[in-house]
Amino acid sequence: MENGAARPAPAVIVAIDGPSGTGKSSTSKAVAAKLGLSYLDTGAQYRAITWWMVTNGIDITDPTAIAAVAGKPEIISGTDPSAPAITVDGTDVAGPIRTQEVTSKVSAVSAVPEVRARITELQRSIAAAAELGIVVEGRDIGTTVLPDADLKIFLTASPEARASRRSGELKGADVHSTREALLKRDAADSSRKTSPLAKADDAVEVDTSDLTLQQVIECVVTLVEEKRAAK
């Protein structure tokens, strides 16, 4: 507390889960920025470890090979929502982890239990260190990583809405093939044995199909403010 200032808002941990193309990242970053919270993109961490595996020639089709080196790369995630940085062994990988090569391999790497254990531990330590609270977005945050989060939100949208958004992000991508790729990734993430993509029982579901990004942000900000007021 500074100079007798008003009591700061209680720290709040917000878990935002859901499949790709639901507006998860844009919403999470905007909500964190608006409320002065830290922000963590857990998908970027899985992309980072996948990028490291690809760069170091690890056989992505061999879970044993992946498991053997899961503890090697040093992954550091920045938590500033306006500029979320991520480095692997000191190298800035914010750009390289978004390539199609990494995107096509991240589900296979993410399914390896040793990888999930390593990244989950990293995510929990980052959340615990966020003094003012944090918005953590991913696929298993409310169910596995932070089951005691103050607020859990599960974003959904129709496959068509998600494909249209994602193809807009990937300039010039074909909506039909983007939709097929999204559904394939959903199936892989939802059926994996370790921490599958799933909605927590106590999560608030928000269907973003017919909402603008601004409407989704306002909805989530309201939910967080209500949770803070109740603390």
- Binding-site residue numbers for ATP are 18-26
Three-class SS string for the chain? Answer: CCCCCCCCCCCEEEEEECCCCCCHHHHHHHHHHHHCCEEEEHHHHHHHHHHHHHHCCCCCCCHHHHHHHCCCCCEEECCCCCCCCEEECCEECCCHHHCHHHHHHHHHHHCCHHHHHHHHHHHHHHHHHCCCEEEEEECCHHHHHCCCCCEEEEEECCHHHHHHHHHHHCCCCCHHHHHHHHHHHHHHHHHCCCCCCCCCCCCEEEECCCCCHHHHHHHHHHHHHHHHHHC
Binding site: what residues are annotated? Answer: 18-26
